[in-house]
Amino acid sequence: MTNYQLGIFNEEGNIFNVSEFEVTSSDVSTIKKAIRKAVKPVDETIEIVVSFGKTLLEKISPNHLPDKLKSFETIKGKNGHEMPSNQSDLYFRIIGGDASLVLDQTIKIQEALDGISEVVLSENGFKYKDCRDLTGFVDGSANPKEEKKYLAALIPEGEKGEGGTYVFHQKWIHNLQKFNELPVGVQEKVIGRTKVDSIELEGDDMPVDSHVSRTDAKHDGVAMKIWRRSFPFGSAKEKGLMFITYTCDPFRVDIQLDRMLGNTEDGHSDQIMNYSTAVSGAYSFAPSTLELATILED
């Protein structure tokens, strides 16, 4: 498959924006025209991944609705944590290497959609140091390598939506002060990796409630691998991570979220949730470039 949206696998960009919109217009032709205008890049170095929530795709192009696309609903954990939904209609992830151009593209998208939608969330982010989260740990270490990333991320041939991907967006706000008060050895037990060189803990050194343990999931012997493209954000007001993942099947995300919340048989919650809070969550579908062009045709 070579007609996936290129931004999905872009590993070179270091400046990002994610913007989420609720579509308020009922005129399908107007909606499609606005999206066509929005996705035109302001510069050849900018890449955009556009994806659709289930409700919007049912409205503008129901024949292109993949079988497993659903709206995200708030999940409550057995141990007092929860992951809230802010399910919307239309999602844009902008990737670039120049903050000015990423901002220009963000503004262009917002202006193109003005009058047919409302902004639900818009977050700017960046590559922090050597691909680290603001906690100081390397992020995305468990991503599949080489060709395996395509198998993890893309809907396989023969399935509706083939060459596209299911997308999950989730904003997390860190309590960095609380986390940084922990000794480094304790932080490593929370994450499940060493801090400096990002080596996964092994044997008795790996807690069952570490972040690695809770998200390293298997189902019927199959590893539930996903393609993570998260980015940190930060200011004096908020600091956190915009968790973004692409998957061939949303069940792979569901099982990881349930394991983090303690909703599986072993009942263990992810320790990271004592130091970081999920404040949003949404599913969408990013079609292949060929299918996207068809969806947006009048």
Active site residues: 139
Task: Classify residue 252 by burial, with Cβ atoms within 10 Å: 0-12, 13-18, 19+.
Answer: buried
**E strand or H helix at 121:** strand 117-126
- Candidates 240, 185, 272, 229; CA nearest to 94 is 229
CB 126 within 8 A of CB 232: yes
Ramachandran region, residue 179 (left: φ > 0; alpha: ψ -120 to 50; beta: rest) = alpha
The total number of residues written for the chain in this structure: 298
Task: Classify residue 273 by burial, with Cβ atoms within 10 Å: 0-12, 13-18, 19+.
Answer: buried
CA 270 to chain centre: 18
Calpha distance 151→73 (Å, rounded): 26
Strand partners, 263: none
**E strand or H helix at 51:** strand 47-52
Task: Classify residue 41 by burial, with Cβ atoms within 10 Å: 0-12, 13-18, 19+.
Answer: middle
